[in-house]
Amino acid sequence: MADDRNDEAEKPKSWWLSLPGLLTALAGLLSAAAALLVALHQIGVFTGPRPAPAASDAPAVTLTGSPPAVPASPASSIVDDRTARYRVSLPSGASVVLPSNRGIATYQVLGVQAERRGADKLTFKILIRLSNAGPADVGFWNDTFRLLVDGVPRAPVSFLNTSVEARAAKDAEVEFEVPLAAKTLALQIADEKNGDTLPLRLERQD
């Protein structure tokens, strides 16, 4: 009887009942379940049927020949005229004489140049010659000149502060800023007692 009990104790336990065997079997079951879930997901069991590809996923189509003409939008029809040229007209004999106790000063306009500055502004550069008959020197400066823009006087933006000796002449440039919307322009040349205005005509040269 004792021998039978010893034989049963010495018999090896089944592989399924050992701890490594249990772990291996559990891992196999999990792998099989995961594979089954992946297969079910791919055939749409969980997510339903796959949607049709969007328009952006469609294959590109290459067209040959010239592209169709596209009508211009209103904004594209606006012409940038910052490089436009302008012409300034003066009356014939554009000069002003200002006598004083120092001498007889004659101001002659030799030319006017207009340049576009920015979107709504012009710059006038007026070349003026001052001839002084004497007997003494006379001032040649900004205070003698004003540009009447629609009747409103504007001072020069350039700096002129010199003098002309007796029986001599000197040329200088006076610069003004003018809005494009201006309707009337006139150059005023004057001192404390005397003065005159010269009308200016602005024309765009296309």
Task: Give the N- to C-terminal CA distance of the chain in Å, as an integer.
Answer: 131
Structure tokens at 48: 């339903």
Give yes or no for a contact between 163 and 144, defined as CB atoms under 8 angstroms apart. Answer: no
| Residue 197, pLDDT score | 92
85-205 CATH, one of 3.40.50.720, 1.10.3210.10, 2.60.40.1240, 3.40.50.1360: 2.60.40.1240
In the prediction, which pLDDT does 204 show? 74
Strand ranges inside the chain, DSSP E: 85-89, 95-99, 103-117, 121-135, 138-141, 145-149, 152-154, 161-164, 168-179, 185-190, 195-205
The maximal CA–CA distance of the chain, rounded, in angstroms, is 161
Indicate whether 133 pLDDT > 90: yes
If you average pLDDT over every residue of the chain, what do you get?
A: 75
Q: How far is residue 173 CA from its own chain's centroid?
A: 32
**Which amino acid is present at 160?**
L
- pLDDT reported for residue 30: 73
Q: Is the pLDDT of residue 63 over 60?
A: no
The predicted pLDDT at position 35 comes to: 72
Give the pLDDT confidence of 68-123 residue by residue, as tens digits: 444 433 333 333 345 566 777 777 668 899 999 989 999 999 988 888 877 788 88
Which sequence spans correspond to the domains of the chain? 18-48, 85-205
pLDDT for the residue 157: 95
User: How is residue 22 annotated by DSSP?
Assistant: H
